[in-house]
Amino acid sequence: MAIKIRMRGKSKGGVAEIKALIKHPMESGARMNKATGKPYPAKYIDMVTVSVNGTPAVNAQWSGAVSANPYMAVKVKANAGDEVTVSMTDNTGDKGEEVIKLK
């Protein structure tokens, strides 16, 4: 299952605010299934990268402590017309990527 990302971004004065809504279960592996008594398998985003025109601007490591369907907002140096890419991988190898052109 691919990680789904909805993203927006706007640049003002050379600084862009990037907002992303990520659809992902973010299961830590600690929660138990009441019916079977076994834990749900861990499935969480562990690496997030925000790039501007192909150059990494933000690298973040996440863990199972992040809530399901997380929202992320970051500010990066970028101008209108620049291309911003947000890419993610989770601990099971699933990936997601979204690209926008700033206004």
- Read off the pLDDT band of 16 (50, 70, 90): very high
- How confident is the model at residue 76, as a pLDDT? 98
Residue 29 belongs to domain spanning: 4-101
Tokens at residue 13, please? Answer: 């004065």
Whole-prediction pTM = 0.91
Q: Is 88 helix (H, G, I), strand (E, B) or coil?
A: strand
Tokens at residue 10, please? Answer: 């706007």
Tokens at residue 74, please? Answer: 């970051």
**Tally of domains within the chain:** 1
32 vs 97: CA distance, rounded Å: 30
Tokens at residue 49, please? Answer: 């990268």
Digit-coded pLDDT (tens) for 35-87: 999 999 999 999 999 999 999 999 999 999 999 999 999 999 999 999 999 99
- How confident is the model at residue 32, as a pLDDT? 95
**Strands of the sheet with 15-23, listed across from one edge:** 4-12, 15-23, 71-77
Residue 68 sits in a domain whose CATH number is: 2.60.40.10
